[in-house]
Amino acid sequence: MLLEIHQVGKQYKKGVWALREINLQLRPGIVGLLGPNGAGKSTLMRILATISQPTAGTVTWNGVDIRKKPDELRCTLGYLPQDFGVYPHLNPIEFLEYAAALKGLGGRQMKTRILEILELLNLHHVLKHPIGSFSGGMRQRIGIAQALLNDPRLLIVDEPTVGLDPEERMRFRSLLTDLSGERIIIFSTHILSDIEATADQIAIMSKGQLLTNSDPTVLLRNVQGKVWSVIIPDEEIQEARTRWTISGTIRREDGLHLRIVSETPPLPQAIEVSPSLEDAYLYVRANQEGA
């Protein structure tokens, strides 16, 4: 099972590129697609979901060009877009039967499949309740349910935890981990803790470009010895922000405790600390975007 993205670019109008020269090879597991708003993550997701076509480059699924033969991927694709909507007056069974019909799925086996998915997602106790009465986390589970109807080999979820409370986000991350294995799951987000908890491969994007694609341990290793803790007076914070890449700020009685990503100690009294994924992310962005 292999999804290959080769030199993919997307141009929306003359001179404006949402994506430029994206190259990735994805195999089973969870791939965290990380980047700020406007990085091009959703544009790439729509191309991979065959909703949009690239201006340049190719995407192949097990060697088949999805632009020429999109059904090769669509029959085994599950997609939860960022702006996923539901019909609030339908209950989960009614909504999933409707979603299955749109995908060309049906029959007695699909009714059984719907019940199995709702059980998997811990929604069996609300089968007859209108979806409009659900919490944000429960609606997201309905979104995942419709994406799983065809037992997809490629599952794409775009910003699925935005707006969820911490408990719902933890449940959603656990669900993605449970679903991984013999699937390629592409999890797009700008929330670092979601990636840290789930992904075994991280692709960082910014301004339509892929900055790096790496194992989380490699990203952390690359920033080892480059993260520092310093204390400064409150009034020096604006100057500090112009001088250094700051990944954390805590206000305490003795001043502002800063966490700084820097090749060398930012101040003589700086203390080296263990890096986090957020430090590694900021290090990649600072170095690649400034190159």
Look at residue 127 and tell me if it is in a domain.
yes
Residue 181 sits at the vertex; the CA angle it makes with 179 and 187, to the nearest 5 degrees, is 60
Does a structural domain hold residue 259? yes
- 29/248 Cα distance (integer angstroms): 30
CA dihedral 83, 39, 276, 144 (to 10 degrees): 20
Q: Confirm whether 176 is domain-assigned.
A: yes
Q: What percentage of residues in the chain have a pLDDT greater than 90?
A: 60
* Helix or strand (DSSP H, E) at 69: none
Are residue 233 and residue 208 in the same domain, yes or no?
Answer: no
| Domain assignment of residue 290, yes or no | no
Do residues 58 and 116 both lie within one domain? Answer: yes
CB 36 within 8 A of CB 188: no
Q: Are residues 229 and 209 in the same domain?
A: no
Q: In the numeric block, which tokens belong to residue 42?
A: 């959703």
> What domain range is 70 assigned to?
3-216
CATH number of 86's domain? 3.40.50.300
**pLDDT of 59-114, one tens digit each?**
999 999 999 999 989 989 999 988 788 889 999 999 999 999 988 887 888 889 99
Q: Verify that 66 and 172 share a domain, yes or no.
A: yes
Residue pair 34/189 in contact (Cβ under 8 Å)? The answer is yes
Does residue 167 sit in the same domain as residue 260?
A: no
Question: Are both 183 and 69 inside the same structural domain?
Answer: yes
**Exposure of 65 in the CB half-sphere (CA atoms within 13 A):** 9
State the maximum Cα–Cα separation within the chain, in Å, rounded to a whole number. 71
Query: Residues 144, 231: one domain?
Result: no
Q: Would you state the structure tokens that stand for residue 264, as one six-digit string? A: 């060398």
pLDDT the model gives residue 202: 94
Residue 133 lies in a domain: yes
Of the pLDDT bands very low, low, confident and very high (cuts 50, 70, 90), residue 289 is: low
> How confident is the model over 264-288, as a mean pLDDT?
92
Please indicate, yes or no, whether residues 255 and 164 belong to a single structural domain of this protein. no
Domain match, 148 and 252 both: no
Distance CA 105, CA 87 (A): 19
Helices (H), the chain: 41-48, 71-74, 92-102, 108-120, 136-147, 166-179, 192-198, 216-222, 237-243, 277-289
CB 277 within 8 A of CB 219: yes
281 lies in some domain: no
Local confidence band at 135 (pLDDT 50, 70, 90 cut-offs): confident
* Same domain as 57, residue 175: yes
Per-residue model confidence as pLDDT tens digits over 199-246: 989 999 999 999 999 999 999 999 999 999 999 998 999 999 999 999
Model pLDDT, residue 283: 93
Where does a domain end: 216, 237, 258? 216
Has residue 191 been placed in a domain?
Answer: yes
- pLDDT tens across 140-160, in order? 889 889 999 998 999 999 888
Asked which of 199, 216, 233 is the last residue of a domain, the reply is 216
Amino acid at 159: E
For residues 33 and 186, is the Cβ–Cβ distance under 8 A?
yes
My answer on whether 191 and 261 are in the same domain is no
Question: What is the C-alpha separation between 205 and 177, in angstroms, rounded?
Answer: 22
- The model's pTM: 0.86
Distance, in Å, from the CA atom of 238 to the CA atom of 91, rounded to the nearest integer, reads 52
Going 284 to 285 to 288 to 290, the CA torsion angle's sign is negative
CA–CA dist 126, 133 (Å, integer)? 10
For the chain, the domain total comes to: 2
- 288 within a domain of the structure (yes/no): no
Backbone angles phi and psi of 103, in degrees to 5: -85, 0
Q: Are residues 157 and 257 in the same domain?
A: no
